[in-house]
Structure 1
């Protein structure tokens, strides 16, 4: 049997998920204008040639955020096959999907109710998937 890790040593919360972007300003505009996510901070590292922009719905000291990282002059990244998606809670997935579609956002999976429910909670979800400017999948989820 292993000895439990003391609570004082364990991580306290999720800070952020970092994704690499090919055009920082396009990505910031997408997350702000299409999804209402605010820029919460920016850090530039000239010696390492990258800029990190933190985006979120709340204070980044208490809420998890997205870090958009732009490596200056390097756009050679490819999406891995193990990464799934960013998931956002929404009030009305159908209305948001229509709003985004009108603005030219790529809809990867139209809004609809999952035909299955969670075995633990019995909850069904209505969801849609969209693509951000770099093709990352963003899930829009409404619990019903």
Structure 2
């Protein structure tokens, strides 16, 4: 029996705002979408165009209050080939929430407060 990663999920309050954020901040694109027949939820799957891994954004029609992210100790991580350009973009967007220069990394947060780690690497 073999398992492999497929996707991670973040629940969001404003799907359009979240999709726009992930497109601008990380270059992700919606690759698949599912809308409940009764309109109660929408799943938008975003991908980087390079890997099979997806970020599933879940919007629930009846959810109005912010999600409790606890201490926000969980996160996604993205590597990038141009750390300086990425940092400048995220600084301009105002979404950098924590920096660790000693490790050469930083974190951004999305419109719902989820943290995303940015690390050097890429292709």
TM bin (shorter chain): 0.7 to 0.9
Aligned to 1:21: 12
Extract unaligned runs of 5+ from structure 2. Answer: none
Aligned to 2:26: 35
Relative to structure 1, the CA distance from residue 30 to residue 36 in structure 2 (aligned partners, 3 Å threshold; closer, same or farther) is same
Counterpart CA distance in 2 for 1:136 and 1:86 is 9
Query: Displacement, 1:98?
Result: 1.2
Aligned to 1:123: none
Counterpart CA distance in 2 for 1:98 and 1:41 is 30
Q: Deviations over 1:63-86 (max 9, x none)?
A: 111000000131332113475111
From 58, 72, 75, the counterpart of 2:64: 75
Poorly superposed stretches of 4+, deviation over 3 Å: 80-83
Higher relative contact order (CA 8 A, sep 6+): 2
RMSD (Å) for aligned C-alpha atoms: 2.0
Using structure 2 for the length normalisation, give the TM-score.
0.85
Extract unaligned runs of 5+ from structure 1. Answer: 1-6, 115-125
Q: Deviations over 1:43-97 (max 9, x none)?
A: 01133710000001137xx611100000013133211347511100111223211
Larger radius of gyration: 1
Counterpart CA distance in 1 for 2:83 and 2:117 is 10
Listed as ranges, the matches of 1:102-113 within 5 Å are 102-103=92-93, 105-110=94-99, 112-113=101-102
From 97, 108, 113, the counterpart of 2:87: 97
Aligned to 2:74: 84
